[in-house]
Every structure is written in C-alpha cells, then in structure tokens.
C-alpha cells in the first residue's frame, strides 16, 4: 500500500485532488488551491429539489438534456469545480458515461447553478469567482440560489462574455425561463418537503 503524496502547503494539482482520501468530503481545485465544500442538509435538500424541478421540466419540454450535480467535476479555466446542479446535452452525458469519465468540460454545460451556503468560505467563490470562471468558459446560464432569509433565485445570462442579471425571483413569485428549456417554479418550493 502506498500513500499519496500531498503537498502540505500547495500549490496542488489534479493528481493531488484525486489522491485525497474518501472521507465524505468534497473539494474543488482552483488556481492550484483546494477548497473544501461546505454543504449542509438544507443546502443538499435545495439542490436535490432543483434537480428534480429541472428534470421534470426538461422531460415535459422534450429537451434532450441530462441534469446532474456534485460529485461530478467540471473542468474550468481555473481548475475543477463541482456545481450543485448543471445541465448538459444528453449526448455529452452519454459520451462521459461510456468513457467512465466523471469530468465534464465547462464549455459543454448549458446551465450551472450554485446553492449558497451563507457565511461559508464557498459563498464568495460562488458569487464572484465562479461567475467569472463560468462566463469565461461560455456557460450560457448561471443561477445563484439563496435560501436565507427566504428562498430566492438570481438568473444570469451570458452576454458579451460576462453574465447579466436576467431576473431575481423571491419565494411566492415564479422563476420563468425559456433556455435551456422552458421551466417555471416558485423558489419557495426548493425548501418544501414532499
């Protein structure tokens, strides 16, 4: 048995990321630095609900897409990210599954969504760094989901190489978009239990 070599103080590589022990923790790698993700049951529930909503809407729209999220990796210009929810063309997902690849290229994504974990190290990354990285990669749509003080979804669309706010919708209202397929839902439903 050999132990993986981890550079105690970085910078880190994809090989270091892959060599981390399976302890139930997830990390992202950006610009040579590892960031531990800080999900919570509330965060994970909202991510799962959003995936369900998008899958249902895609099916109803007849969209030939695949809706997924962590623990899949997304390769960006800065490194490896793990969006909470993302949408890719079904052919892209089929090819990844055939190759047994867990990493998608960010340029293949049609939508990336991040559920904010307030007061965590990843909050600034989701609101600032990922917005810049995902825009550089050409992902057409980026959603930021806030759960506090009430559920809210900010919908951004790629325009001239950066994201422009299309809508900011609070619980009790409806997020309605046509791309990457028609979907309409109340952000309040992200925290509901079935």
Check which CATH number belongs to the domain holding 108 and give it: 3.90.1570.10
Q: Does 76 reside within a domain?
A: yes
Which burial class, exposed, middle or buried, applies to 145 when counting CB atoms under 10 A from its CB (0-12, 13-18, 19+)? Answer: buried
- 42 forms beta bridges with none
In the predicted structure, residue 30 carries a pLDDT above the cut 90: no
Encode pLDDT of 113-169 as tens digits.
Answer: 999 988 777 788 899 999 999 999 999 999 999 999 999 999 999 999 999 999 999
Specify the pLDDT at position 38.
Answer: 66
Domain range for 141: 38-191
Both structure tokens of 18: 């892959």
pTM (two decimals): 0.85
Sign of CA dihedral 78, 140, 101, 114: positive
**Do 87 and 54 contact (CB within 8 A), yes or no?**
yes
Q: What does the DSSP assignment read for 49-61?
A: HHHHHHHHHHHHH
Per-residue pLDDT band for 41 (boundaries 50, 70, 90) equals: confident
Q: Which residue has the higher pLDDT, 186 or 77?
A: 186
Q: Does 27 reside within a domain?
A: no
Q: Does 7 reside within a domain?
A: no
In the predicted structure, residue 48 carries a pLDDT above the cut 90: yes
Q: Does 98 reside within a domain?
A: yes
Q: Does 20 reside within a domain?
A: no
Q: Does 11 reside within a domain?
A: no
Chain mean position to CA 71? 10
In the predicted structure, residue 94 carries a pLDDT above the cut 60: yes
Specify the pLDDT at position 123.
Answer: 84
Per-residue pLDDT band for 3 (boundaries 50, 70, 90) equals: very low
CA distance 78 to 14: 11
Q: Which residue has the higher pLDDT, 41 or 168?
A: 168
Mean pLDDT, residues 29-53 taken together: 84
- Sheet with 73-76, edge to edge strand ranges: 33-36, 27-30, 79-81, 73-76, 103-105
Q: Does 26 reside within a domain?
A: no
Q: How many domains does the chain have?
A: 1
Mean pLDDT, residues 9-26 taken together: 75
Mean pLDDT, the chain, whole residue set: 88
Mean pLDDT, residues 168-175 taken together: 98
Sign of CA dihedral 181, 169, 115, 80: positive
Per-residue pLDDT band for 25 (boundaries 50, 70, 90) equals: confident
In the predicted structure, residue 1 carries a pLDDT above the cut 70: no
Q: Does 64 reside within a domain?
A: yes
- What percent of the chain lies above the pLDDT cut of 70? 92
């Amino acid at each position: 048995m050999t132990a993986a070599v981890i550079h105690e103080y970085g910078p880190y590589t994809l090989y270091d990321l892959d060599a981390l022990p399976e302890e139930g923790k997830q990390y992202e790698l950006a610009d040579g630095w590892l960031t531990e993700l800080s999900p919570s049951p509330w965060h994970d529930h909202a991510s799962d609900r959003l995936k369900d909503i998008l899958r249902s809407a895609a099916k109803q729209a007849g969209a030939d897409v695949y809706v997924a999220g962590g623990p899949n990796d997304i390769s960006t210009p800065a490194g490896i990210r793990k969006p909470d929810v993302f949408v890719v063309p079904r052919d892209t997902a089929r090819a990844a599954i055939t190759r047994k690849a867990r990493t998608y290229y960010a340029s293949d994504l049609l939508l990336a969504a991040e559920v904010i974990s307030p007061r965590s190290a990843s909050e600034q990354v989701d609101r600032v760094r990922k917005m810049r990285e995902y825009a550089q990669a050409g992902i057409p749509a980026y959603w930021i989901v806030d759960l506090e003080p009430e559920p809210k979804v900010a919908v951004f669309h790629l325009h001239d190489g950066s994201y422009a706010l299309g809508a900011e919708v609070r619980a009790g209202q409806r997020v309605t978009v046509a791309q990457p397929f028609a979907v309409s839902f109340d952000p309040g439903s992200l925290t509901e239990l079935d």
